[in-house]
A and B are shown apart, each in its own frame.
Chain A
Amino acid sequence: MRKPHLRLSLLVSCVSLLWIAAFATPPPRESLGIAPQDENYFRSSVIKCKDGSKQFTRDQLNDEFCDCPDGTDEPGTSACPGGKFYCRNVGHAPLTIFSSRVNDGICDCCDGTDEYDGKANCQNTCWEAGKAAREKLKKKIATFKDGVAIRNQEVEKAKQAFAKDEAELAKLKNEEKILNGLVEKLKEQKERIEKAEEEERLKKEKEEKRLKEEAEKQAIEDKKATQDSQEGNVDATLEKSSEVQLQEGNDHRTEVEDGNNQENTKSDEGDEVDDQGNIESYIGDDEPIDGLSSTPTLEEHVVESEDDNMIKAASRDDSAAKAASKTSEEQDHAPLDTEGLSKEELGRLIASRWTGENVAPKTDEVRENAKEEGDEYRLDTEIPEPAEESYDGYNSETDEEANRYEEDDFEDERDEEYNEDHIDPADSYYSDEAGKSDHSGGSSWLEKIQQKVQSVLQAFNFFKTPVDLSEASHVRKEYDDSSSKLSKLRSRISSLTEKLKHDFGKEKEFYSFYDQCFESKQNKYVYKVCPFKKASQNEGHSSTQLGRWDKFEESYRIMHFSNGDRCWNGPDRSLKVRLRCGLKNELTEVDEPSRCEYVAILSTPLLCYEERLKELQQKLDDMMRQPSTHDEL
């Protein structure tokens, strides 16, 4: 390929030299600025304006007087505002410019033909420029060639991965059905046990009460011993009724949660399930054992946080909320209390009106927090969402998506948690034991569970009084294990469903993007783009949401992220990532051409389309061929 081109170039250079010589004198007036394909149009002695408005004689062609309002008669002069001037640019690519550029003293065509009145001295730079352009084009073609190959592999991989995930989803759904049946059975069993335990407990309580009363009597009788014996009693009581206390604690906790979670439509059984979860997280104070415990854990943070800032912020929150609830009209007329401000604070405050910088006029601390935290949480705050949704710092789900699973609210929470986990590849579904066994041994883990449950259920004797504690705990444990597995399973199902519903391109070629994020460091910011999820601008620990995944645009050439953090006085932030062919995935040139409207470029082999490669090759061929065409003329 290259050698013939080289020879051709030599030819081109000779020809173009001839052309330069030819243009040393101004070209004939009649052909000035006319494109080759239009030459015939202007051959007749009476010519029509292209818009049909009138006609003109050949004398009037390029006579420096505009006759056709559309500029037909003056392609080669600046007389008509709407005119277009064609330059051949031999050695480079032909160019059509506005005829207002003709004889304006600025060289626009590389062949210099647009400046023929002698006032500007334009060199013919077409060969140089054309060479550079051709080199550039050749490089681009080389990239495309390699890129097309990579792309084909990627497309294949993506297709396979997609098929695999689809198959897995089908399998998981089946397993879920089975496991769900088991859990239901266990639950039933567990409830029965608990009912029995409850009866027993009431009995015990009565007995204890009686004993206590007796003890008190004794205490009155023997004052000296009172304190010790009382302590002893309390200890004993605590020990014996530890479960009761925990239960109470949990009741309280449940109330809190109910208060916060209006969508909590759990059945009574559900509450109990929840209680169990709480007990475990309470006692163990370990990693939450299943998704259910995550919500109470959140509450714990909110209620018990020792972070002063947070508490202050929370209390400020109220007053700020009140202030914000005032009508803006009131705001306008309410004098801003500037009395307490230092000179600098006042200056900053007034300046902030123009700039919108975050300036908290009253509490430095809050201001600093605001600065530190950046805009990370603005998104959450702007769309008031139930606490558990906001908790998910990730927030890839819109309300709409969440509602899709509203038949089971648990699903949401677990689902989100799963997503959260999923950001960190180290903590994925597959790292879980159950997951591993699932992966390796097909449904064997399920079978095992089935057997185990069966045996547990059979072993338990309901008619034994008091309840056999070890048997009961077996049931409970089995129930917990199974429901934990079930929730993981469901979580995986929903995340897979969530993933698969996206549009991954005509050939599913963008499937691998789902689990990838692309980063680019520009000055102090790190930009992070996670296709199908979100994009953010990070500075240190603070993060600003540039947008949530919206869609592909321009037939998969642009990834659009919208509804990011709101800008002061401006729009919600948004990001358009333009994709272009490159040999590896690389995020570059993040820019904010318009306030809070970001753009970036992502090079990826996925954009190295074969058709485009052909176009480019065609273009290069045209560039190489052009001089010889003229040679023939």
Chain B
Amino acid sequence: MLPRSLVLLQLLLLLSSASAWKKDEFRNCDQTPFCKRARSRPPHSLPSFSVADVSLSDGSLSALLLPPSSHPLHQVVDSASHSDSPDSPRPLLLRLSALHGGILRLEIDELETASGSRRRFRVPDVLLPDVDDRLRLRLPRLGSPAPGLSTFPISPGFEAALRHDPFELVVRRSPSGDPVLSFNSLGLFDFETLRPKRHGDGDGDGDGDGDGEWAERFRSHTDSRPRGPQSVSFDVSFHGADFVYGVPEHALSSSLALRPTRGPGVDSSEPYRLFNLDVFEYLADSPFGLYGSVPFMLAHGAGASSSGFFWLNAAEMQIDVLAPSSAGRVDTLWMCEAGVVDAFFFVGPGPKDVLAQYASVTGAPAMPQQFALAYHQCRWNYRDEEDVAAVDAGFDEHDIPYDVLWLDIEHTDGRRYFTWDRALFPHPEQMQQRLAAKGRHMVTIVDPHIKRDDSYYIHKEATENGYYVKDASGNDFEGWCWPGSSSYPDILNPEIREWWADKFSLQSYKGSTPSLYIWNDMNEPSVFNGPEVTMPRDAIHYGNVEHREVHNAYGYYFHMATSDGLLKRGDGKDRPFVLSRAFFAGSQRYGAVWTGDNTADWDHLRASVPMLLNLGLTGLTFSGADVGGFFGNPEPELLVRWYQLGAFYPFFRGHAHLDTKRREPWLFGEKNTALIREAVHLRYSLLPYFYTLFREASVSGVPVMRPLWLEFPDDKETFNNGEAFMVGPSLLVQGIYQEREKSVSVYLPGEQSWYSLRDGVAYGGSASHKLDVREDSIPSFQRAGTIIPRKDRFRRSSTQMVNDPYTLVIALNSSLAAEGELYVDDGKSYDFEQGAFIHRRFVFADKKLTSVNLAPANSGAKKFSSDCVVERIIVLGLPAGAKKAVIEPGNREAEIEIGPLNLRAGSSPVAPTIRKPNVRIADDWTLRIL
């Protein structure tokens, strides 16, 4: 008996000591042939391409890109095989076009040949459908200011200059000619054209020349690479830039901007990898690839100008950021395993311009449902209906609002999604209805791995219809995931997406109700026994597309299909809510994302801010990190700090791993319960402001959670500040990232002062303030010159707040002026698209507050009205003495007294407060302070 028990112990030890990031299970650049090849070339070491046959057609510029004649295209190709062989370098087709608003598009692909060679993969359904229609050139003719140079304007003040030999593309200001962005300035453009496999081509087994070109092994997996090498790489330079940002998803705890990965003074580093992976216990700071990929980079510099570059390619990408060789320029190297060049240059010039330009190509974030901005309570797993009821009751008992209760994989019958474990959840409809009666919603998980079980209807249908991704030999691909042996719907296929979407109908998804929404996890896709815990690259998708070509977008299509399913379920009238772990450019159109399986430690708390900021900059503003940390057990202090920070995340959800101790907010003693309640209440009171910001994001692409430099683009102090962030234009928040921290230094940018959200105390701008750290809140400030709408009545869930009155908090700037916005609609339907919304601007000047209608007069056929009134107006920075306010129309009076900033026990009166002005938010009115 004894020895056996010891063995168990050892097994346990092995397992527990194994809980950490498995570096060796993921490829580094050196183990990735295309990356190794591309990275080994120094600038200007490649013979250069040249441009020929420039012409205008269909509103765009076309040209041939001629490979270097004196050298073989690929160094790896045996130079003995020569010009007549199919391997000899072939010209490429280059196309340039411009879109409204300062966007240049560059496409480079192989010429279609008669030899039946396969066309390279172009990622479908990511760009907005009208992008192609919007393509156009501003001028009918090209300019050629110098021989061998073609120029044309992109937008007022910007032009593109194409140098013919050597090939280089520069986006520059006109007429000054100052470069903004350039392509191939370092001469690193390379394009491995498809070629048939010849005898003697490397098969991956040998060493040397053929390294990984036609087959490659990684650990126990072999990638058959039947199509051989087809990588694309090039350099992009950002001129006038000090920092670059974006290209999520990477764990970044020590920097907001992307730190250089190569060059003088840089410790050797991996490039930033974009390859969607399910990474167990990821590190808090590393360039390795995580769950999602957005190949969009922004640059910003001291000239207060920004630019951006987006490469639409879903294959594995590796990106080097070179240490600046000269100030004000950042060079980057982009390497990709397959696909074509389909790249977009965004000229800015302001950072918000870049964001709008990117949004005009991949779409702005969808307008979420109001409830989705409130607090979400999740755990792997809420075990059964009793557990759900108890947690639900716990929130009520402790007067902590929440809106959504989540069920993880264990709610299903053997991890067959769309089913219920009927022993644990015998009455799912009633359970959801009970929550719905309190205005609450439920979210269940639906993952892409389908259990291979003939009695499971999804599997049966998918098998019969041939809806699964195929393996390299053409059979349904089988991988291992939560349910055991599983297959994966080939969601790249629009027909299959349609089929998948139908599974969410109330008829099809038994036990679902209209208050149920969806969570897509594991959609990288995660394949436990696959290479790097994902699908083999030689698996085959719809249209004979290899998985390597579409990998980074798999989760995107899955998210899309799920979101479409909910849209269909609601007859197009109910905004979907779908949280996805994997993402790609454009995922913002389909729902929220989160930063995956983080860990309950302070470093991950810190990392959440730069991670979410970079997600927001690349369109994915509806994002959050698991509050409390997924793995491990947070100390109460960490948990409280996480709630205090998470209350400002755009997506605010507490979540925990199966093996962690329960951590519902009331389980850590009265004091901590009160602190968490306070943090959640703060979020709920700010919901009108958040909702207004989401509206702004859905129109402009400007994220809800913003790096400071987005609001203060000329303040260099802010450029790499990853500890603080803005929520919209008006709030600044800084996390507390250390245990028992006594004091913290907070940099407040801009000329205007800032008012502490906690007590209304004013702090000067453009200065660092050393502040005492308080237990009850993290440093957060309202910028002088802004007006924030709040709702200060705390209900069980946001649903019950609909009719509650507003509080306006006006923070006056040095000229005693301020303004802010409020957007309101029904919070769930698409009627707002037809004008059913209220959009007000509040302007305070000359002691007069005016509510101005921002909604266009003829915005649509539908109307939204609200009887909500403003019950309280707090005016920070108003000189004392005011006693009354007069409201027009009606000539009513309202009293002014000194009141507290927040309605909490023990708060003291700090600012003039207008009692019960009771003006309707839907109306025009003016309030004059006497």
**Chain A residues close to B by CB (< 8 Å):** 51, 53-54, 63-66, 69-71, 78-82, 98, 100-101, 104-106, 119, 302, 309-311, 313-314, 316-317, 320-321, 323-324, 326, 328, 331-333, 335-336, 338-339, 341, 343-356, 358-360, 366, 369-370, 373, 375-378, 380-382, 387, 390-391, 393, 523, 566-571, 592-597
Contact = CB atoms under 8 A, between A and B. Distances in A.
B198 interface: no
A567 B383 CA distance: 18
Contacts of B220: 338-339, 341, 346
B659 A377 contact: no
Contacts of A66: 792, 903
Interface stretch (B49-57, B165-173, B503-511, B794-802): B794-802
B660 A105 contact: no
Best-buried of B22, B439, B481 by chain A (most CB within 10 Å): B22
A502 to B, nearest CB: 28
B219 A338 contact: yes
Pick the most buried of A378, A569, A571: most chain B CB atoms within 10 A of its CB. Answer: A569
B662 interface: yes
Contacts of A343: 478, 480, 529
B399 A381 contact: no
A80 B900 CA distance: 12
A356 B16 CA distance: 8
A344 B871 contact: no
Nearest to B656: A595
Contacts, number: 237
Nearest to A108: B396
Nearest to A302: B2
A593 B662 contact: yes
Contact of B8 (A105, A373, A593, A596): A373
A370 B796 contact: no
22 contacts: A66-B792, A69-B907, A71-B905, A100-B399, A100-B796, A106-B800, A314-B3, A324-B14, A328-B17, A331-B14, A332-B21, A336-B24, A348-B528, A349-B528, A377-B1, A378-B5, A567-B659, A569-B660, A593-B387, A593-B390, A593-B662, A595-B661
A332 B796 contact: no
B20 interface: yes
B12 interface: yes
A104 B12 contact: no
> Closest 5 A-B residue pairs measured CB to CB?
A347-B480, A377-B5, A320-B10, A381-B9, A347-B529
Interface centre among B399, B529, B909 (most CB of A within 10 A): B529
B659 A106 contact: no
Given A310-B3, A387-B2, 17 more contacts: A51-B906, A100-B795, A316-B10, A320-B7, A332-B23, A341-B220, A350-B280, A369-B4, A369-B7, A381-B8, A382-B9, A523-B423, A569-B632, A593-B387, A593-B390, A595-B662, A596-B659
Given A70-B905, A324-B17, A328-B17, A376 B387 contact: no
Contacts of A391: 1-2
A595 B528 contact: no
Interface of B: 1-25, 219-220, 280-281, 383, 387, 390, 399, 423, 437-439, 478-482, 484-485, 527-529, 533, 597, 631-632, 657-662, 681, 792-796, 800, 803-805, 871-872, 900, 903-909, 915-916
A69 B792 CA distance: 12
Given A78-B793, A377-B8, A570 B659 contact: yes
B877 to A, nearest CB: 22
Given A313-B4, A323-B10, A378-B8, A595 B904 contact: no
A570 B658 CA distance: 9
B608 to A, nearest CB: 20
Contact of B16 (A53, A326, A366, A569): A569
Given A317-B10, A324-B14, A393 B1 contact: yes
A390 B5 contact: yes
Given A78-B793, A317-B7, A391-B2, A571 B657 contact: no
Given A69-B907, A78-B804, A376 B5 contact: yes
B399 A65 contact: no
Given A348-B528, A377-B4, A378-B9, A353 B18 contact: yes
A339 B900 CA distance: 66
B658 A595 contact: yes
Given A81-B793, A336-B22, A567-B659, A354 B280 contact: yes
Contacts of B479: 347
Nearest to B391: A593
Contact of B6 (A119, A354, A381, A571): A381
A594 B661 contact: yes
A333 B659 contact: no
A373 B4 contact: yes
A390 B2 contact: yes
Given A317-B10, A347-B480, A571-B661, A380 B793 contact: no
Contacts of B795: 78, 100-101, 104
Contacts of A328: 17, 20
A353 B14 contact: no
A556 B96 CA distance: 81
A346 B532 CA distance: 11
A51 B22 contact: no
Nearest to B485: A344
Contacts of A381: 5-6, 8-9
Contacts of A82: 903-905
Contacts of B804: 78
A607 B219 CA distance: 62
A366 B25 CA distance: 25
Nearest to B632: A569
Contacts of A373: 4-5, 8
A348 B480 contact: yes
B720 to A, nearest CB: 30
Residue picked from A100, A358, A366, A596, most chain B C-beta under 10 Å: A100
Nearest to A99: B793
B399 A98 contact: yes
Nearest to A335: B24
B280 A51 contact: no
A323 B657 CA distance: 27
Contacts of B281: 353
A387 B220 CA distance: 41
Nearest to A117: B803
A64 B909 CA distance: 19
A104 B797 CA distance: 10
B23 A333 contact: yes
Contacts of A324: 9-10, 13-14, 17
Most buried by B among A338, A339, A377: A377
B219 A366 contact: no
A332 B25 CA distance: 11
B796 A313 contact: no
B16 A353 contact: no
Given A69-B904, A393-B1, A570-B659, A353 B280 contact: yes
A121 B24 CA distance: 63
A53 B25 CA distance: 62
A63 B14 CA distance: 65
Most buried by A among B8, B19, B479: B8
Contacts of A566: 12
B661 to A, nearest CB: 5
B903 A351 contact: no
Contacts of B1: 310, 377, 391, 393
A369 B3 CA distance: 12
Contacts of B10: 316-317, 320-321, 323-324
Contact of A339 (B4, B14, B24, B219): B219
Nearest to B804: A78
Contacts of A341: 220
A558 B128 CA distance: 63
A317 B24 contact: no
Nearest to A323: B14
A358 B482 contact: no
Given A100-B795, A377-B1, A106 B437 contact: yes
